[in-house]
């Protein structure tokens, strides 16, 4: 990356990548303070994702680096968070795998599209997916804070009941993610078709 590309929106993109391992470390501490810090870091991640695009468009600071790294930073940050939930037993592996495979699918389609000079339009399903994943992240972290602070009713704070709640929340995000993957493929798989014909 050239120094000229290190503008405010690209800096916000890099912030998401740098925060991800910090979130991972804090989550493994499993204390009330650590969970509160994780919640604040998640807020910073989502705000940086929201504002980097707005700033880039309004200030005409859209760069090739930003186009490449913005979705990459999103994937790193969100997948780090969901991996933390997996490590805590808050969701099964197959649920988390959907988040991973969806982002791999989108990345593959983007690569083939760039090679064929095809413009891949943003899908509304992708934005919906991002918002639902963000909300699910906040809800799960908030529940973890309440549980650690002993503010949940005993019937909900119990391990089995708590995991049912978190699995339901993450399950909704997983279903929306799966829907967005199908929608993305349906509208953009022609890039791979063109590449295969030109092989």
Residue 2 scores a pLDDT above 60: no
- 194: pLDDT confidence band, cut at 50, 70 and 90? low
**2 three-class SS:** coil
Q: Would the CA dihedral through 55, 57, 59, 60 be positive or negative?
A: positive
Segment 35-52, tens digit of pLDDT: 999 999 999 999 998 888
With a CB cutoff of 8 Å and minimum separation 6, the contacts of 135 are: 173
Do residues 199 and 126 make contact, with C-beta atoms less than 8 angstroms apart?
no
Alpha carbon distance 65, 56 (integer Å): 12
Q: Could you say which DSSP state residue 158 is in?
A: S
3: pLDDT strictly greater than 70? no
State yes or no: pLDDT of 191 exceeds 60: yes
pLDDT of 198 over the 60 cut: yes
Report the chain's terminal Cα–Cα distance, integer Å: 31
Largest separation between any pair of C-alpha atoms in the chain:
62
Task: Check residue 77 and give its pLDDT.
Answer: 96
The C-alpha atoms of residue 188 and residue 110 are separated, in whole angstroms, by: 9
Q: CB atoms < 10 A from the CB of 183, how many?
A: 16
- Does residue 195 carry a pLDDT above 60? no
The residue written with tokens 């493929």 in the block is 185
In tens, the pLDDT along 132-168 reads: 999 999 999 999 999 999 999 998 888 899 999 999 9
Q: In this model, does residue 175 exceed pLDDT 70?
A: yes
Structure-block tokens of residue 46: 């989502």
Count how many Cα atoms sit within 13 Å of the Cα of residue 28 in the half-sphere of its side chain: 7
Q: What is the DSSP letter of 121?
A: P
pLDDT at 64: 72
pLDDT in tens, 50-93: 888 788 778 887 777 777 788 889 999 999 999 999 999 999 99
The DSSP output letter for 1 is: -
What is the average pLDDT score of the chain?
88
The answer to whether the beta carbons of residues 188 and 141 sit under 8 Å apart is: no
Share above pLDDT 90 across residues of the chain, in percent, rounded to a whole number: 59
For 3-197, give the CATH class: mainly alpha
- To the question of pTM greater than 0.85 for the whole model, the response is yes
Higher pLDDT, 23 or 66: 23
For residue 113, what pLDDT is reported? 75
Domain boundaries of the chain, sorted by first residue: 3-197
DSSP 12: H
């Amino acid at each position: 990356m050239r120094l000229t590309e290190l503008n405010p929106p690209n800096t916000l993109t890099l912030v998401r990548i740098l925060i991800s391992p910090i979130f991972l470390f804090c989550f493994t501490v499993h204390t009330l303070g650590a969970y509160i810090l994780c919640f604040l870091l998640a807020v910073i991640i989502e705000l940086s994702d929201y504002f980097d695009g707005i700033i880039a468009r309004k200030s005409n600071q859209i760069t090739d680096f930003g186009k490449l790294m913005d979705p990459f930073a999103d994937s790193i940050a969100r997948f780090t968070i969901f991996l933390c939930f997996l490590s805590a037993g808050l969701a099964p592996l197959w649920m988390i795998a959907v988040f991973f495979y969806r982002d791999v699918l989108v990345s593959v389609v983007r690569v083939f599209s760039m090679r064929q000079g095809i413009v891949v339009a943003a899908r509304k399903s992708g934005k919906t997916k991002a918002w639902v994943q963000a909300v699910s992240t906040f809800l799960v972290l908030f529940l973890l804070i309440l549980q650690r602070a002993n503010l949940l009713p005993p019937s909900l704070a119990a391990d089995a009941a708590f995991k049912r709640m978190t699995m339901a929340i993450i399950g909704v995000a997983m279903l929306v993610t799966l829907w967005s993957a199908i929608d993305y493929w349906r509208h953009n798989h022609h890039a791979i078709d063109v590449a295969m014909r030109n092989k």
